[in-house]
Structure formats: C-alpha cells, structure tokens
Amino acid sequence: MSLVCAVSFSRHGRLHYLDPGPYAVAVGDRVLVPTDGGTEVAECVWAAQWVSDAEGLPVVAGLAGPADLARDEANRTRKAQARVAAKRLVREHRLAMKVVAVDVLDRSNLVVVYFTADGRIDFRELVKDLARTLDCRVELRSISARDDAKVQGSIGPCGRDTCCSSFLKDFEPVTLRMAKDQDLPLDPLRISGACGKLLCCLKYEHPLYAEFLSRAPALGTSVDGGTVVAHDVPRDEVVVRDAAGGRTGCSLASVCGPRRAHEAGPPT
C-alpha cells in the first residue's frame, strides 16, 4: 500500500498522480511537482489516499511558497502573451497552421509553441519574428489531431470529460473492426471523437465482445428451438427466432450446450 494524491496544473486539466512523501497534502493546496524543466506549481485535487500497486510515482517536492506562486503567476501571464503573439504572427505570415498551446520554460528562457497543420509548413521566418517579439528562444512543435483534442479538452458523448484530457497517458490503436464487432452504426458522426478520429472508448469493451463472439453461434445458425438472429452481449444472450416468428432471448449457455452436445455425437 502507498499514499497517492492527484494534482492538476490547470483547472479541470489532466490529473497527475504523485507520492505526497512527508507532506500532508490537502485538496486546494499548491504543491511543487518535479518535471524535466524543474519544479512546477500544481493544485491538489485529490487528497492523499492509501492505494495498492502504486509504486514508482514521482514524489512531491514540497509545498509552494510565495516565491513559487509569484513565479507561477508570471509564467501564466507570459504564456497568455506568447499565445496572442503567436496567433497574430501566424495570421501576418499567412501560414496554414493552428496554434494549440504554449509552454514557457522560464529557467531556460524558452517558449514552446504547439501547433497542428495539414501539411508541411515553412515557419522559419515565424520563429525569428516570434523570438524577436518575445525576447527569448522559441521552438515550434507539431502535434497530431488526438493531441490537439487532449490539450484543448472536451466533453464526450457520455457527458463526461474526454478520456484523453482526463486520464489517458498513451493513445492505443482503435480500428473500424472494433465498431463492427460491437454492432455500432458506422456513422462517422457517432463513432468519432472531438479529434475526428475513432472514439478511444471503442477499445475498452472490445475484448468482451471478441470473447463473446468466439463462443456464440453466428447469426443465421440453427439451434435447438430456432435460428439465431441477434446477439445481446451485455446480457450474455442470443436472440432466437422460432418457427412461428417469435423472438426469445436465450442465455449463451442454454443455446451452446445442446448444440455442442449434438456436434460431439453420442458418447462412445
């Protein structure tokens, strides 16, 4: 068992899990989080709790003091100014790109601008003008449509924050076969997320559907009492149509048991 707390760098942003270490961290406390660019200020949104299998988490570097809070506020102001300047210069250079987010590394005097674009972009002049305007080093990094949705945040069809902006760390491949196996309508508007790609949540239940399909008789198969016309995976049932045209939901065990016994033949 280990103590774990959750923090966020922005309101309603992605959660990051930390080991509170020797500090008594409560909800609303501002803490220092170790990052590649040094310690950054984040707000605790989940108080420390005992959790199993949570080894190897980063440890809270301390509680944020007045100097840390002042530096964090200055960085937030600088981020907003850099974002406005980047968008203005993109328009002036007439570049087909979209500024998604800006990150400020004050210790190295570096501003990183994340963008999306449909094709290759020559942004060399943009970087020069942006560095001159902000008086710092500037890097531009291209990100994918999924990363764009992750940074921006949105509400999914389930009514909750999108998985990518709340807890997902990596994007796993999602295929159209997963939607077909779950008998979902192949309408892009219904099975696509805010990024325009297939919903990440199609991956969650697919193993259950794949396991069910490996055991269930295919549609159109004759079983004891009728013909299989539909699958009901959540109930672990198949819908059987009898000779009179009526439909009945039958458990998979009751349908497959007699069928397998018939295929096996009489005992020897």
Looking at residue 262, what is its pLDDT?
Answer: 45
Q: Rounded distance, CA 25 to CA 78, Å? A: 28
Pairwise pLDDT comparison (60 vs 226), residue with the higher score: 60
Helix, strand, coil share of the chain (percent; to 5): 35, 30, 35
Q: What is the mean pLDDT of residues 88-115?
A: 89
Is residue 12 predicted with pLDDT exceeding 70? no
Is residue 100 predicted with pLDDT exceeding 80? yes
| Domain ranges (residues) in the chain | 2-64, 70-143, 149-211, 216-264
pLDDT digits (tens, 9 = 90+) for 158-187: 888 788 877 777 778 888 888 888 888 888
Secondary structure of residue 174 in the 3-state scheme: coil
Least confident range from 87-96, 117-126, 133-142, 216-225: namely 216-225
What is the residue whose two structure tokens read 């280990």?
A: 2
Q: Rounded distance, CA 159 to CA 163, Å? A: 11
Looking at residue 239, what is its pLDDT?
Answer: 84
Q: Rounded distance, CA 74 to CA 72, Å? A: 5
Looking at residue 86, what is its pLDDT?
Answer: 93
Q: Rounded distance, CA 108 to CA 36, Å? A: 12
- CATH of range 70-143; options 3.40.50.300, 1.10.150.120, 2.60.220.10, 3.30.300.20: 3.30.300.20
What whole-number percentage of the chain has pLDDT above 70?
93
pLDDT digits (tens, 9 = 90+) for 235-255: 888 888 887 777 877 777 776
pLDDT digits (tens, 9 = 90+) for 42-83: 999 888 888 877 677 888 988 999 999 999 999 899 999 999
pTM of the model: 0.65
The HSE-up count of residue 190 (CA atoms within 13 Å, CB side) is 7
Please give the mean pLDDT across all residues of the chain. 83
Report, in angstroms and rounded to the nearest whole number, the Rg of the chain calculated over CA atoms. 27
For residue 33, count CB atoms less than 10 angstroms from its CB and return exposed for 0-12, middle for 13-18, buried for 19 or more: buried
Q: What is the mean pLDDT of residues 113-129?
A: 89
Q: Is the dihedral of CA 80, 81, 82, 86 positive or negative?
A: positive
The closest of 38, 40, 39, 54 to 5, measured between CA atoms, is 54
What whole-number percentage of the chain has pLDDT above 90?
16
